[in-house]
Amino acid sequence: MPIYSNNPLELPLFQFSKLLHYPEIAHAVATRRGPGQPLFQEAQPTLPDDYRTAGKGIYNKREVIYRRRSEFLAALGLDYERVQPNLTSPLQRHTNRVAVVGEEAYGTHLNWDKPLDNYDAVVTNLPGLPLMTLHADCTPVLLYDPLKKVIGAVHSGWRGTVGKISLEAVRVMQQHYGSAPEDIVAGIGPSIGPCCYQVGEPVLSAVAAAFGPEVAKPLLPLQADSSYHFDLWQTIFLTLREAGLKPQNIEQSTTCTRCNLTHFFSYRATPVEERDNYGQFVSLICLR
């Protein structure tokens, strides 16, 4: 599992080896572990594994989350005071819609007060404008075109995955910025894995309708107890291949959030009685 702490804050971060080849971008998926060298003591959690950079509930005070996101940005080598007001997020309604983010996003706190409604992915070619998505089992997908200098961040739950939101993000990068799919590098991040993601109707029918019964069959492996599980990672991989990405340019984390509770929050692993206060982690990509 590629989790690195070799940054000035000693903050554990999940990062993709393929994207680390490009120093002109900053990227990471946050974990639930706090920094060894924090910037803000008041933002540190009482429990060592409760470093929420997002989440639901009464314990996620805005000023605390704001400080933690500043530490997250600083660990990536970004000027957090400058770029924190530029953080941009979709509202994540489980759509397959992609927003193009322009200069109007600078300084407007689109991750706080006005997240982009009815979108689950964002793309831009502007530096200093971090694109961020929130997760607790759904899959983060990060995209980068190193030739056109275009980035994308995708929130891909089962509905977005079936709706091929990653393909839609690639199409938007093509249409708005002239990106060639074969140049795009992608990272499929930690999420609930096929080991744990039990599904029923309507997921089974939706996957079969979107990909065809033969392609869908291995994406929905039958378990010994006669239940079905859904492989989000392989489905997104196939979707990116359909979009035109080269297989060697796609990196899969194959890290299950439900199996790796030491490092990641998981909605499905949260007891039902505690789900009003479940934790989330963020995924981010930014042109420097």
Task: Report the SS3 class of residue 11.
Answer: coil
pLDDT, residue 55, reads 82
Confidence of residue 26 (pLDDT cuts 50, 70, 90): very high
Distance of CA 239 to the CA centre of its chain: 16
Looking at residue 191, what DSSP letter applies? B
The mean pLDDT value for 117-129 works out to 97
pLDDT, residue 120, reads 98
Kind and range of the H or E run holding 172: helix 165-177
With a cut of 80, say whether residue 113 has pLDDT above it.
no
User: Where is mean pLDDT largest: 108-112, 114-118, 172-176?
Assistant: 172-176
pLDDT, residue 82, reads 97
Q: Which amino acid, 160? A: G
With a cut of 60, say whether residue 58 has pLDDT above it.
no
The mean pLDDT value for 166-188 works out to 98
Looking at residue 32, what DSSP letter applies? S
Dmax over CA atoms of the chain, in Å, equals: 54
- Give 175's contacts (C-beta < 8 A, 6+ positions apart): none
With a cut of 80, say whether residue 1 has pLDDT above it.
no
* Rounded CA separation 112/261 (Å): 26
With a cut of 60, say whether residue 121 has pLDDT above it.
yes
State phi, psi for 134 to the nearest 5 degrees: -115, 145
Closest to 57 (Cα-Cα) out of 197, 256, 265, 257: 265
The mean pLDDT value for 114-123 works out to 94
Query: Domains along the chain?
Result: 3-191+250-287 (3.60.140.10)
Percent of the chain's residues with pLDDT above 70: 99
pLDDT, residue 57, reads 66
With a cut of 70, say whether residue 103 has pLDDT above it.
yes
State phi, psi for 132 to the nearest 5 degrees: -135, 140
Task: Report the SS3 class of residue 54.
Answer: strand
Confidence of residue 127 (pLDDT cuts 50, 70, 90): very high
* Rounded CA separation 23/195 (Å): 34
HEC secondary structure over 91-136: CCCCCCCEEECCHHHCCCCCCCCCCECCCCEEEECCECCCEEEEEC
**pLDDT for 199-249, tens place per residue?**
999 999 999 999 999 999 999 999 999 999 999 999 999 999 999 999 999
The mean pLDDT value for 79-95 works out to 96
pLDDT, residue 59, reads 59
Higher pLDDT, 19 or 61: 19
With a cut of 90, say whether residue 34 has pLDDT above it.
yes
The mean pLDDT value for 118-138 works out to 97
**pLDDT for 147-176, tens place per residue?**
999 999 999 999 999 999 999 999 999 999
